[in-house]
């Protein structure tokens, strides 16, 4: 950095009082504890990861920047397509993503694309790294790619190797061949939304989809709403109550979307993440054979909640990705926009603003990585804390970026308004952030009330 | 000329009926923006009703009378009612009316027709010129650096100015800097570089533009000295008040939307408005609306007696609260709140837009330091 390019009121690195240059003059032993390499922050974080995960992060970043980012704006602004229609650019992206392994990375070969060396780390950690990079480039395509993993999660968590080999393997193999077989996750019911989380508390539960036993299997009837990727999915993990029973009978069925009686009634016109559809699905006596009951009869509720525990940390990482994008947009604007003959970044209040955004983003990432690295058996409390805290703060960072761009913040071409529309969804789906706060207490109540009433022993 | 205080209530009743029936009726689908032809029809009707100032004789339209508390009550009320029906329409009318009134103050013959002939862009190319504009408006002693900043902030020849306006605008009225003074310049759309941007965050009824006047040509008015400062402060006060009134009206509708939805949607066996989590969100919205109303009530004073710093400080706080409230309206709706056909997300985008107008709110802190603190 030269004196010419240093920021006003800050010392250039080569100034005698700049600590950065002085550290290098200290004795070797001192330098070992004091000197540091101020490389790019993204690079610093990547190097802190175990090597296989660092490699994954670099690969995800390259794919996001080379493939997702260039089509992001076009897909966001594209007209709303009829249910089931693929935007040609989105199809291209998905085919390439499939071939590169982005639709099959939860399991290693010979089933999926996970690197064997990465296999010793929780898949949720891997997923969080990927989702952050994809979110930074395009919220809509990120969701289209990620909703598929949510859909496959009940198969993976079923505890049955047979289920994985019979159903998940062909899905992954098809994706790897470049023929994306997307799987959607269908829990939300009409008039519900967060009821998917709290329906068990309903005085009278009225199931959105009912499974009636027939010879050889079940007939599914009813509706599911707001199903991410449901319009393009080839199969779907559907949660339904058994006929005449309540929510405790919820069972997961693996449904083939081309089955007779299955239809996509509509897709929603969303505020953001517009490259991914949210579909309303109609089941009209859709036959599902016995062998497509996933995880056992009446095990659907537990399977659903376990799936949400695995997905909420990656949802938090979407927030990190959006906050990182917002911070980057704001920093680029501040470094290039001129006011009164100076760059905005030369003004002290702008520096304070950006420093806060950076700190917020890094605090979010720290929380997500901290939880993700231990998420072999993700606890509800940790997953929900991560989800609501990070997504709430992520939106705040996006708002800070819009504020910094001020008069220019509302223009689509400056990107931040789209990032805001994208991040807004993360506070709603996978249980609203209010529901996630209650999920924390639900999981924590045993410690709060139970065994030892001495507050100090809670271990907060 | 001032409105009879007894007429304010009945007049606002009429505005309210018009806004509900005509504007509300024209925008039944939140995901479908009002076509420009429909916006023009509504504007024509509003002009005929006397709600908006025309190029002819002065009347009692929006911002035409600002010298009595009840005048201001009327102006604020008009924008609240219109915004309750549609925030974008209220914004378009606010800026059109303000341009017309500024033309009158300048003694300028109106340009173009009454349908969005002239639109106002009240600030420079970014923010509020830090604390320099406030210090200039306050009459503080200023040095070369500050004049340099102000000259750059209002330099229309080299800096692109972004603004939003109805598609049919023909002239733009904006402040320019000339030898230590603010002049007002009216430029014709045909004579400047204009870039129409296809998409902006909110205000779906209007368009975003970027404009550059490289030649510097245009009709210019100089009022000079203290009058110049007073006029600019007056315009800023009215503009900020207008944005606040629009926000308040828009969020009054937001509160209705949230309450209506919370009273019919059930969860856990009961209406969601019976859940404390939802009640708290509804209270947040209520609180923001009441704070906005309080601020507007405090600002219903003769405009020249109103302190610009008070209005700017209110703008900074209230728009932040209104945006938070709009977020809570979305959140109360849950998944459907994110969908364009429900109306909540549009309201959120519009609240964000209001915050970003007139230099945004981030620089208001610096502006207030210049206004109240006289810090260089």
**Could you count the other beta carbons within 10 Å of the beta carbon of residue A255?**
26
Instruction: Taking residues B125-142, report their average pLDDT.
Output: 95
Among A143, A199, A271, most B C-beta atoms within 10 A, so best to mutate, is A271
User: Hey, are the CB atoms on B267 and A421 less than 8 Å from each other?
Assistant: no
Per-residue pLDDT of A351-398, as tens digits, reads 999 999 999 999 999 999 999 999 999 999 999 999 999 999 999 999
> Would you say A268 and A227 are in contact if contact means Cβ atoms under 8 Å apart?
no
User: Hey, are the CB atoms on B335 and A193 less than 8 Å from each other?
Assistant: yes
The confidence score (pLDDT) of residue B27 equals 82
> Would you say B203 and B87 are in contact if contact means Cβ atoms under 8 Å apart?
yes
Is A2's pLDDT higher than 60?
no
Of A194, A405, A406, the CB nearest to B267: A194
The confidence score (pLDDT) of residue A16 equals 87
Are B161 and B250 contained in the same domain? no
Per-residue pLDDT of B317-355, as tens digits, reads 999 999 999 999 999 999 999 999 999 999 999 999 999
Per-residue pLDDT of A210-228, as tens digits, reads 999 999 999 999 999 999 9
Residues 131-150 of B with CB under 8 A from A: 145, 148-149
Are B39 and B89 contained in the same domain? yes
Q: What is the pTM of this model?
A: 0.96
User: Hey, are the CB atoms on B130 and A226 less than 8 Å from each other?
Assistant: no
Per-residue pLDDT of B80-131, as tens digits, reads 999 999 999 999 999 999 999 999 999 999 887 777 789 999 999 999 999 9
Q: Which residues of A touch B281 (CB under 8 A)?
A: 434
Instruction: Taking residues B218-224, report their average pLDDT.
Output: 93
Per-residue pLDDT of B156-178, as tens digits, reads 999 999 999 999 999 999 999 99
Confidence of residue A193 (pLDDT cuts 50, 70, 90): low
Provide the residue count of chain A: 460
Are B182 and B193 contained in the same domain? yes
Ramachandran angles phi, psi of B48, nearest 5°: -65, -35
Residues 272-311 of B with CB under 8 A from A: 277-278, 281
Rounded to 5°, the CA angle A363-A366-A367 comes to 90
Is A338's pLDDT higher than 90?
yes
Per-residue pLDDT of A70-96, as tens digits, reads 999 999 999 988 888 889 999 999 999
Among A339, A349, A350, most B C-beta atoms within 10 A, so best to mutate, is A339
**A28-42, A310-324, B172-186, B269-283: segment of lowest average pLDDT:** A28-42
Instruction: Taking residues B70-76, report their average pLDDT.
Output: 96
Domain range A302-450, its CATH number among 1.20.140.10, 1.10.260.40, 2.40.128.720, 1.10.3720.10: 1.20.140.10
> What are the strands, taking DSSP E only, across B191-346?
193-197, 207-212, 219-221, 266-267, 270-271
Return the residue of A nearest to B207 by Cα.
A411
> What are the strands, taking DSSP E only, across B140-267?
161-165, 171-178, 181-188, 193-197, 207-212, 219-221, 266-267
The confidence score (pLDDT) of residue A197 equals 46
The alpha-carbon gap from B320 to the nearest alpha carbon of chain A, in Å, equals 10
| Three-class HEC string of A425-450 | HHCCCCCCHHHHHHHHHHHHHHHHHC
Confidence of residue A1 (pLDDT cuts 50, 70, 90): very low
Are B92 and B144 contained in the same domain? no
**What are the residues facing A222 on neighbouring strands?**
A209, A283
Residues 33-52 of B with CB under 8 A from A: none
Of A344, A405, A428, the CB nearest to B338: A428
A98's tokens: 């499939």
Instruction: Taking residues A438-446, report their average pLDDT.
Output: 94
Rounded to 5°, the CA angle A111-A117-A119 comes to 55
User: Total structural domains in chain B?
Assistant: 3
Are B253 and B353 contained in the same domain? yes
The confidence score (pLDDT) of residue A195 equals 44
User: Hey, are the CB atoms on B334 and A432 less than 8 Å from each other?
Assistant: yes
Return the residue of B nearest to A392 by Cα.
B327
Ramachandran angles phi, psi of A12, nearest 5°: -65, 155
Among A140, A201, A340, most B C-beta atoms within 10 A, so best to mutate, is A340
**Domain's final residue, options B225, B248, B272:** B225
> Would you say A179 and A95 are in contact if contact means Cβ atoms under 8 Å apart?
yes
User: Hey, are the CB atoms on A270 and B338 less than 8 Å from each other?
Assistant: yes
Q: Which residues of A touch B277 (CB under 8 A)?
A: 434, 437-438
Is A199's pLDDT higher than 50?
no
Q: Which residues of A touch B200 (CB under 8 A)?
A: 410-412, 417
Are B48 and B174 contained in the same domain? no
A226's tokens: 């707001």
Of A198, A421, A434, the CB nearest to B268: A198
Are B285 and B363 contained in the same domain? yes
- Class of domain A42-182 as given by CATH: mainly alpha
Peptide bond preceding B247: is omega within 30 degrees of 0, i.e. cis?
Answer: no
Question: Which H/E stretch holds residue A21?
Answer: helix A19-23
State how far the Cα of B355 lies from the Cα of A376, in Å rounded to an integer: 44
Is A204's pLDDT higher than 90?
no
Residues 52-81 of B with CB under 8 A from A: none
Are B330 and B233 contained in the same domain? yes
Confidence of residue A141 (pLDDT cuts 50, 70, 90): very high
State how far the Cα of A304 lies from the Cα of A325, in Å rounded to an integer: 31
Q: Of A224, A317, A221, which Cα lies nearest the Cα of A268?
A: A224
User: Hey, are the CB atoms on A77 and B198 less than 8 Å from each other?
Assistant: yes
Instruction: Taking residues A107-134, report their average pLDDT.
Output: 96
User: Hey, are the CB atoms on B360 and A203 less than 8 Å from each other?
Assistant: no
State how far the Cα of A262 lies from the Cα of B212, in Å rounded to an integer: 55
**Domain's final residue, options B225, B257, B277:** B225
Residues 187-226 of B with CB under 8 A from A: 197-202, 208
Are B219 and B287 contained in the same domain? no
Are B274 and B367 contained in the same domain? yes
State how far the Cα of A349 lies from the Cα of A333, in Å rounded to an integer: 14
Domain limits, CATH 1.20.140.10, in chain A: 302-450
Q: Which residues of B touch A404 (CB under 8 A)?
A: 362
The confidence score (pLDDT) of residue A48 equals 95
Which superfamily does A185-300 belong to?
Butyryl-CoA Dehydrogenase, subunit A, domain 2 (2.40.110.10)
A453's tokens: 């009433």
**Could you count the other beta carbons within 10 Å of the beta carbon of residue B170?**
15
DSSP of A352-383? HHHHHHHHHHHHHHHHHHHHHTTTTS--HHHH
Whether the CB of B107 is below 8 Å from some CB of chain A: the reply is no
The confidence score (pLDDT) of residue B376 equals 67
State how far the Cα of B119 lies from the Cα of B97, in Å rounded to an integer: 8
CATH number reported for the structural domain that contains residue B311 in this entry: 1.20.140.10
Is B230's pLDDT higher than 60?
yes
Are B369 and B232 contained in the same domain? yes
How would you classify the pairing of strands A262-267 and A235-242?
Answer: unpaired
The alpha-carbon gap from B268 to the nearest alpha carbon of chain A, in Å, equals 4
**Domain's final residue, options B201, B225, B249:** B225
Query: Integer distance in angstroms from the first to the last C-alpha of chain A?
Result: 44
Question: Which H/E stretch holds residue A95?
Answer: helix A88-99
State how far the Cα of B319 lies from the Cα of B209, in Å rounded to an integer: 23
Are B352 and B281 contained in the same domain? yes
Among B146, B201, B321, most A C-beta atoms within 10 A, so best to mutate, is B201
Give the range of the structural domain holding residue B194, as residue numbers without chain letter: 120-225
Confidence of residue B198 (pLDDT cuts 50, 70, 90): confident
Domain limits, CATH 1.10.540.10, in chain A: 42-182
DSSP of B10-34? HHHHHHHHHIIIIIHHHT--TTSPP
Q: Which residues of A touch B199 (CB under 8 A)?
A: 77, 412
State how far the Cα of A256 lies from the Cα of A245, in Å rounded to an integer: 24
Of A269, A339, A434, the CB nearest to B277: A434
> Would you say A398 and A322 are in contact if contact means Cβ atoms under 8 Å apart?
yes
Among A195, A411, A421, A425, most B C-beta atoms within 10 A, so best to mutate, is A411
State how far the Cα of B9 lies from the Cα of B11, in Å rounded to an integer: 5
């Amino acid at each position: 950095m030269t004196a010419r390019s240093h920021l006003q009121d800050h010392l250039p690195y080569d100034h005698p009082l700049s600590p950065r240059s002085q550290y290098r003059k200290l004795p070797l032993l001192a330098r070992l504890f004091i000197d540091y390499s101020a490389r790019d922050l993204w690079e610093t974080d990547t190097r802190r990861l175990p090597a296989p995960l660092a490699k994954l992060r670099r690969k995800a970043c390259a794919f996001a920047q080379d493939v997702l980012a260039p089509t992001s704006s076009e897909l966001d602004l594209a007209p709303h397509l009829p249910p089931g229609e693929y935007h040609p650019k989105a199809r291209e992206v998905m085919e390439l993503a499939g071939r590169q392994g982005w639709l099959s990375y939860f399991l290693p070969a010979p089933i999926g694309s996970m690197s064997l060396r990465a296999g010793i780390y929780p898949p949720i950690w891997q997923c969080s790294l990927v989702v952050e990079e994809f979110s930074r480039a395009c919220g809509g395509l990120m969701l289209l790619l990620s909703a598929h993993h949510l859909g496959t999660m009940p198969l993976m968590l079923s505890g049955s190797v047979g289920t994985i080999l019979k159903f998940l393997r062909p899905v992954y193999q098809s994706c790897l061949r470049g023929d994306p077989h997307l799987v959607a996750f269908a829990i939300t019911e009409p008039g519900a939304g967060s009821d998917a989380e709290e329906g068990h508390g309903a005085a009278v539960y009225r199931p959105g989809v009912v499974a009636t036993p027939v010879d050889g299997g079940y007939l599914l009837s009813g509706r599911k709403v707001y199903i991410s990727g449901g319009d393009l999915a080839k199969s779907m993990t559907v949660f339904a109550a058994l006929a005449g029973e309540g929510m405790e009978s919820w069972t997961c069925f693996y449904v083939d979307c081309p089955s007779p009686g299955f239809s996509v009634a509509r897709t929603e016109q969303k505020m953001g993440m517009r490259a991914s559809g949210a579909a309303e699905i109609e089941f009209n006596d859709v036959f599902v054979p016995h062998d497509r009951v996933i995880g056992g009869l009446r095990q659907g509720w537990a399977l659903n909640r376990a799936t949400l525990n695995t997905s909420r940390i990656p949802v938090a990482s979407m927030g990190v990705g959006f906050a990182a994008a917002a911070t980057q947009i704001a920093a680029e604007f501040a470094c290039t926009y001129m006011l009164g003959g100076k760059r905005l970044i030369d003004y002290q209040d702008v520096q304070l603003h950006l420093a806060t955004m950076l700190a917020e983003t890094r605090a979010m990432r720290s929380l997500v990585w901290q939880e993700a690295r231990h998420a072999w058996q993700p606890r509800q409390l940790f997953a929900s804390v991560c989800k609501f805290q990070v997504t709430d703060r992520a939106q705040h960072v996006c708002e800070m970026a819009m504020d910094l761009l001020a008069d220019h913040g509302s223009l689509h071409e400056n990107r931040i308004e789209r990032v805001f529309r994208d991040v807004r969804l993360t506070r709603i789906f996978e249980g609203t952030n209010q529901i996630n706060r209650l999920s924390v207490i639900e999981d924590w109540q045993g410690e709060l009330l139970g065994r030892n009433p001495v507050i100090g022993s809670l271990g907060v | 000329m001032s409105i009879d205080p007894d007429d304010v209530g009945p007049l606002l009743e009429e505005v309210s009926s018009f806004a509900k029936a005509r504007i509300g009726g024209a925008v039944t689908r939140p995901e479908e923006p009002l076509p420009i032809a429909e916006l023009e029809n509504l504007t024509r009707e509003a002009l005929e009703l006397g709600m908006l100032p025309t190029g002819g004789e002065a009347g009692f339209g929006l911002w035409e009378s600002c010298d009595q508390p009840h005048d201001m009550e009327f102006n604020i009320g008009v924008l609240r009612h219109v915004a309750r029906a549609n925030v974008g329409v209220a914004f378009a009318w606010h800026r059109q009316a303000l341009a017309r009134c500024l033309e009158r103050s300048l003694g300028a013959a109106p340009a173009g027709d009454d349908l969005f002939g002239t639109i106002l862009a009240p600030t420079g190319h970014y923010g509020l010129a830090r604390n320099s504009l406030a210090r200039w408006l306050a009459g503080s002693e200023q040095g070369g650096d500050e004049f340099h900043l102000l000259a750059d902030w209002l330099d229309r020849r080299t800096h692109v100015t972004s603004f939003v306006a109805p598609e049919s605008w023909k002239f733009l009225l904006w402040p320019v800097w000339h030898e230590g003074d603010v002049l007002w310049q009216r430029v014709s759309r045909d004579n400047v570089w204009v870039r129409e941007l296809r998409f902006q965050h909110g205000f779906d009824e209007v368009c975003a533009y970027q404009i550059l006047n490289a030649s510097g040509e245009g009709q210019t008015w100089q009022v000079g000295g203290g009058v110049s400062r007073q006029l600019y402060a007056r315009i800023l006060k009215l503009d900020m008040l207008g944005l606040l009134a629009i926000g308040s009206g828009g969020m009054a509708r937001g509160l209705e939307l949230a309450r209506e939805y919370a009273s019919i949607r059930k969860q856990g066996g009961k209406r969601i408005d019976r859940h404390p989590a939802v009640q708290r969100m509804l209270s947040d919205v209520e609180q923001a609306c009441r704070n906005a109303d309080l601020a507007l009530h405090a600002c219903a004073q003769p405009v020249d007696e109103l302190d610009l710093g008070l209005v700017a400080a209110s703008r900074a706080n209230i728009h932040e609260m209104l945006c938070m409230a709009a977020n809570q309206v979305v959140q109360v709706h849950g998944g459907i709140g994110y969908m364009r056909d429900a109306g909540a997300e549009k309201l959120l985008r519009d609240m964000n837009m209001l915050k970003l107008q007139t230099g945004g709110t981030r620089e208001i802190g610096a502006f207030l330091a210049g206004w109240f603190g006289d810090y260089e």
